[in-house]
Structures are given as structure tokens and as C-alpha cells.
Amino acid sequence: MKLLPRLSKAAALSDSGVAIRLGEPARIAGEDNRAGLFLVVFMRLLAGLWVIQGLSQWSAILLPPQPLFDNVSALRGAAVIFFATVNLVAAVGLWLATPWGGVIWLLGAIAQIFVALALPGFFSMLWIGADIGLIVIYFGLIWRAGHAGTAFFRQSHR
């Protein structure tokens, strides 16, 4: 009994949103593997950092020394809830190395930059530099992995 229709090799290679591809030959190109490996390792390290951030936001909600939402403005309370949720969702997506994980992480990182500027004391000003640096590294690795992938595709499918 066949559960899924068999895709042609060209259709399987063109569907980049699939997490696991069955029956597709492994890519052998060294540069492609190395760039992709660096990207996945970076995303997993970033996921660990974002889990820590998300859990620290949740600890502010669940284990405050004094009632949190009675003592802060509505904007600060909303920011705590936003980052408690977005950071953990982004961490899961980053750990799975999915495109949506990178998008959610970018949304959270850019929001951290704006919140650090708009609400002094919410995030350390070091987070602005760290977030900008991590975003630059992320885009560099994405570009490199994409560049290596297209070079592999051009060489092996002539």
C-alpha cells in the first residue's frame, strides 16, 4: 500500500521546504555540507541561547519576587509576555533548523533591539550589539549555505 505518491527527482530537489526527503541521494559536495553544517550548528547554539532567554522571561511571570504586573506599565508587561512566547517558539524552530524558525527568531531579535531602545532597562544595551552581530552572522551563513547549494546544484545537474 502506497501512502504518498513518488515524486520525480526534479520535484523532490525543488521542494526545499521538506524537512526529510526519502529516496533522495545524499549530497556529496564538501563545501555544501560544510556550509550547511555551520548553519545548523549556529542555529542550534542560537536555539539554546533563546531557550534561556525565554525561560528567564517566564520566570519573571511565574516566579516574581513581588507581583510583576502590579508594579510595571502595561507596555512592559506586554513585552514580557511577548518575549516569553516568541523566544521559546523561535528556539524550537531554530533547533529544528526550519525556515520559519529563522523568521520568528529574526522577528524576536529585531523586536529586542527596538524594545531595548524604547524601554530603557528592559534589555541591556549590550543586547543591541549582540543581536545585530548575530543577525549579520546568520545572514552570512544563510548566504554561504545557499551559495554552496546552488553551486552544487549547477555542477551535478548539467
Give 52's contacts (C-beta < 8 A, 6+ positions apart). Answer: none
The domain ranges of the chain are 32-156
Contact 132, 84 (CB under 8 A): no
User: pLDDT of 87-137, one tens digit each?
Assistant: 999 999 999 999 999 999 999 999 999 998 888 888 888 888 999 999 999
Q: Is pLDDT larger for residue 36 or for residue 29?
A: 36
Q: CA 6, CA 22: separation in Å to the nearest integer?
A: 10
Q: Is pLDDT larger for residue 129 or for residue 10?
A: 129
Q: Is pLDDT larger for residue 38 or for residue 3?
A: 38
Contact 153, 25 (CB under 8 A): no
Question: Which pLDDT score, from 0 to 100, does residue 152 have?
Answer: 43
pLDDT exceeds cutoff 80 at 155: no
Question: Which pLDDT score, from 0 to 100, does residue 3 have?
Answer: 52
Q: CA 97, CA 102: separation in Å to the nearest integer?
A: 8
Percent over 70 (pLDDT), the chain: 73
Q: Range with the lowest mean pLDDT among 51-55, 141-145, 153-157? A: 153-157
User: pLDDT of 30-51, one tens digit each?
Assistant: 555 788 889 999 999 999 999 9
Question: Which pLDDT score, from 0 to 100, does residue 28 have?
Answer: 47
Q: Is pLDDT larger for residue 107 or for residue 20?
A: 107
Max Cα–Cα distance, the chain, nearest Å: 66
Helix (H) or strand (E) holding 107: helix 99-118
Q: For 71-99, what is the mean pLDDT?
A: 91
